[in-house]
Each structure stands twice: as C-alpha cells, then as structure tokens.
Amino acid sequence: MDAETLKELIRDDFEVINADETVSKLFPLLDKLDRDKANAILVEEDGKIAGVVREKDLIRGSVLKNPHETRVKSLLVRTGKVDLDELDPFKVARRFVEDSTPFVIIQLDKKKVGVIYINDFLNAIKDEFKDVKVREVMNPEVITVRRFDSAAKALSVMRNHGIDRVVVVDESNKVIGILTGKDVIDRVISPRKRARMGDSSGEKEKTLSIMVESIMSAPVVSVTRNDSVAEVIELMVENRISSVVVTRDGLPDGIVIKKDILEYYLRKESKKGFNVQITTSDISLDEFDREAIMDDFEKLMRKFADFLGESYLFVYIKRHKEHFRNLPLIHVRLKLVSEKGNFMVSGESWGVEYAVHVALKKLGREILKEKELLEDKRMVKRFYEEVLEY
C-alpha cells in the first residue's frame, strides 16, 4: 500500500477534550462516538494534541469514585504521531501496536492533525491476508471465566493477566460469550454514572457483583484455526468487534484481536534475526531503562538463537496503582513469535527491572521446555530408526 492510498484514509471526524477538564465531561463525548470507528478521544494539552484518552481506561478506581474531580490528564495516553510527508503503512501499523489506540494521529501540518482509524487501515491491508491462516496469528492462550462469575471477578482476571477481555464458558467449557472492559463500562459503570449526574435512565441497580452472563456479548463471533485472516478482518469490521474467538467443537482454541493481525503485518517488515517491539501503559521508560531491558532480552535470545531462528518479541509493560517502597507494581507480558512456535508468558513484580526479569525467567523456561521436548522426540526417532535397521 502506497502513501497516496494511506492519505485517502485520513479523517477529521474526531472528538477533542482538554487535559484539564474533568472526567465527567468525557461521558457526553463518548456517547457521540461512531462505534464503527473509535472508542477514544484526542486530548489537547498546552494548545497541542498530546495523545488520547481511551474508554477502557475509565474502569480505574479513582475515575469511578470521583468523575467530577479527576482530571482527564490522569488518563492521558501519550502517543506518537506520523508526519504526513513520512506516511508509510508499517509506521502506521507500528503506532497502532505501540500506542494500543483505535486510531493513529497524523500530523498534517504544524497545527492540524487527522486520524486513521484501525478498521479503515485493516480493510486497506486485508487482501495481504488472503493466504494467511488464523493459526498463524492467533493467541492460543485463552483466558476464561464462568457464566456465573461476577463482573468484579472478570475485571480482576483481566487485570491479573494484563488483558482487556475474557472468554465466557459454560459448565462444559463451551464458549458462550465474551466480556471486555468496555462491556463493563457500557453496561454497568456508565449507566450508574449517568444516574449520579441526574439522568433518570441510569440503571442504579447494576453493580460489579452482577453475573458475567448478564452483561457479556453473545453469541460469540467465532472462527476456526484454518480460516483466512482476511475473513476475520471482514467479520471484525462487519460486526463492529475487536476480537474473534477461535473454537474447536465449541471449545476455546484461541483468540485473535486486531493487535495480533498488526503484529503479524509488522513481522513481514522485520529484519532477519531477532526483533523487539516494546509497548507501555501508564509508564514511561527513559533511554537508560529501555537500553537495559533490551540488553536483557538480547542476552536471552542469543542463548537460544540457534534453536529459535528468526524471531520477534512483543513486550507489553503495564503499571498498576499499588506501590511498595516507592516502586510501582509492574505487569509484563511477553509474546515471542519464532520459527519454533509461539511462546506467551507474563509476570509481575515491584519495579520494571524486576518484573521484566520475572517474565524473562518464565520465557526462558518455556523455550527450554520446548527445546528439550523436541530433542526427546529426535532421540525416540533415532532409537526406532536404529532398531529397525536390524
């Protein structure tokens, strides 16, 4: 896709809010959003667009308790921008992955910006995925909750795993629904906030103790691991959803979110060898921290370079609100895509350095386990070959 095609995707139909406004001013703007396009709002600070505030971030505790006092700047996700004269599909894809936003900000000139929505972008690259199978992009680790679990438990599971959605299963472990943080906002939190602000249509009776089954999205849009990713993109856009569940005989087999598709797209651009993509949430890494983390990643990858072959590591670092001795609780999720398969691990600890080490140790164990398993299979094969020779 060339720059001219990308330029045709740039839109100016977005909402903007000042960073010093209170969160309560966000709710009317969120109601105006076109659900086909975005669930985030641009944030202006000191006369410039500084980033976005995402609807899913409204589930934070301080926001729920004090929407009339909490400032929008406390939710601000500072994002990168792509200059119009440097417009490139891989730069746009990288911004989607690194910023975890539903649109990428395009700097049109010194003052004016536009946006490219993720659905428009995925539609534009859809044909490149006709021959790519779901199994090549899906995450095989499916985090589930039961239909009778509470919304509070579902949110806790999301937090503990550093994700924003869970698959809902019945007593036979069959997939019956999906619940996202956004669902909780739309169906529990927002109605209560509107009620507190004097809107009589607010549903006061819904609390986070409500059962998942009552607020989940159902039926689930599902695919199989052998379906085309191009078909998945069509399903996502047509059904206004950000993920599909991969099933086998009704059981959860994997999940595909838009970020998985974009990560695959980025891997095509990557240089041979080992590549790293770091995404952060609620935390900024200075150059020293980033270099130290990269050094740790490279040490582990060099250790297994011959085994893994060409590989791409996606790193997601998120800060929680808890602190211990001035160190924040950090959640790290690692997704390693290699010639020997995909590896997913996560870890938590106080401070970025320790959390990264926890996750890296888990990743190292998973790689070693797979390596030893393959070596065992080779030994068995050689044994039978030698036996059959006599």
The pLDDT of residue 63 is above 50? yes
Domains and CATH numbers, the chain: 3-125 (3.10.580.10), 134-257 (3.10.580.10), 270-378 (3.30.160.100)
Amino acid present at 27: F
85 Cβ contact partners less than 8 Å away, ≥ 6 residues apart: none
pTM of the model: 0.71
Q: Counting beta carbons within 10 angstroms of the beta carbon of residue 247, is it exposed (0 to 12), middle (13 to 18) or buried (19 or more)? A: buried
CB 316 within 8 A of CB 346: no
3-state secondary structure of 8: coil
Find the mean pLDDT for residues 205-220. Answer: 87
Q: Which of 52-66, 197-211, 321-335, 365-379 has the highest mean pLDDT?
A: 321-335
- Indicate the length of the chain as a whole number: 390
The pLDDT of residue 168 is above 50? yes
Find the mean pLDDT for residues 337-357. Answer: 89
d(CA 59, CA 368): 38
Residue 285, pLDDT score: 82
CB 162 within 8 A of CB 314: no
Could you tell me the end-to-end alpha-carbon distance of the chain, in angstroms, rounded to an integer? 59
The pLDDT of residue 70 is above 50? yes
Confidence of residue 143 (pLDDT cuts 50, 70, 90): very high
105-141 pLDDT tens trace: 999 998 899 999 999 999 999 999 999 999 999 988 8
| For the chain, percent of residues with pLDDT exceeding 90 | 41
Confidence of residue 59 (pLDDT cuts 50, 70, 90): low
Residue 202, pLDDT score: 47
The pLDDT of residue 390 is above 50? no
Residue 271, pLDDT score: 55
195-205 pLDDT tens trace: 554 554 544 55
Q: Which residue(s) pair with 81 in the sheet?
A: 105
Instruction: Return mean pLDDT, the chain.
Output: 84
With helix as H, strand as E and coil as C, how does 176-241 read?
Answer: EEEEEHHHHHHHHHHHHHHHHCCCCCCCCCCCCCCEHHHHCECCCCEECCCCEHHHHHHHHHHHCC
257-278 pLDDT tens trace: 999 999 889 877 665 567 788 8
Confidence of residue 190 (pLDDT cuts 50, 70, 90): low
Residue 114, pLDDT score: 94
The distance from CA 374 to its chain's CA centroid, rounded to whole angstroms, is 31
Residue 379, pLDDT score: 60
